[in-house]
């Protein structure tokens, strides 16, 4: 069964996702990031610029239909509007408002939630969806965290 984790009170969804992806890449994890295309494009740009010392290999699966299959299969991090269309990976990072279709095929699902009221309300709906289906949910409150994520 998919492990579900909610990371609450992230000050900035994209910045926080960059730090999570840096950590995941360092650990050798294969990740699909899902959300709306404008947010994925912003994340794509940030992954190139947020740290002068780190390279986080990634690709946009849905930017155009010209992304070669070899690039998708070689990229440890794939940004995709549709996680079902992305290659099989271990971790799904959801930056979107809805429950991502096909999340069950991933070993882990990470939900990032900001302090924005609308984002928190959408997260409550997703939490209820997972809980109603018997998924154990781990809660990480960034407001009280002592680590650097």
Tens digit of each residue's pLDDT (9 = 90 or more) over 25-44: 999 999 999 999 999 999 99
Q: Average pLDDT of the chain?
A: 91
In which region does residue 105 sit, left (phi positive, over 0), alpha (psi from -120 to 50) or beta (all else)? alpha
**Fold classified for 3-141:** Rossmann fold (3.40.50)
Domain range annotation of the chain: 3-141
Share of the chain above pLDDT 70, in %: 93
Is 50 exceeded by the pLDDT of residue 148? Answer: no
CB 77: neighbour CB atoms within 10 A? 23
pLDDT of residue 52: 85
Q: For 85-99, what is each residue's pLDDT tens digit?
A: 888 889 999 999 999
pLDDT of residue 13 exceeding 80, the answer is: yes
Per-residue pLDDT of 113-136, as tens digits, reads 999 999 999 999 999 999 999 999
Distance between CA atoms of residues 99 and 75, nearest Å:
24
Residue 73, by phi and psi: left (phi above 0), alpha (psi -120 to 50) or beta?
alpha
């Amino acid at each position: 069964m998919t492990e579900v984790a909610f990371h609450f009170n992230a000050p900035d969804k994209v910045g926080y996702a960059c730090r999570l992806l840096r950590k995941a890449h360092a650990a050798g994890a294969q990740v699909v990031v899902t959300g709306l295309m404008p947010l994925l494009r912003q994340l794509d740009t940030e992954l190139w610029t947020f740290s002068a010392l780190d390279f986080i290999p990634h690709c946009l699966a849905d930017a155009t239909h010209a992304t070669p299959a070899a690039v998708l299969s070689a990229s440890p991090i794939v940004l995709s509007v549709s996680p079902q269309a992305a290659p099989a990976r271990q971790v799904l990072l959801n930056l979107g408002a809805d429950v991502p279709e096909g999340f069950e095929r991933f070993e882990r699902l990470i939900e990032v939630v900001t302090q924005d009221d609308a984002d928190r309300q959408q997260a409550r709906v997703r939490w209820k969806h997972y809980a109603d289906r018997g998924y154990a949910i781990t809660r990480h409150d960034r407001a009280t965290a002592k680590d650097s994520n």
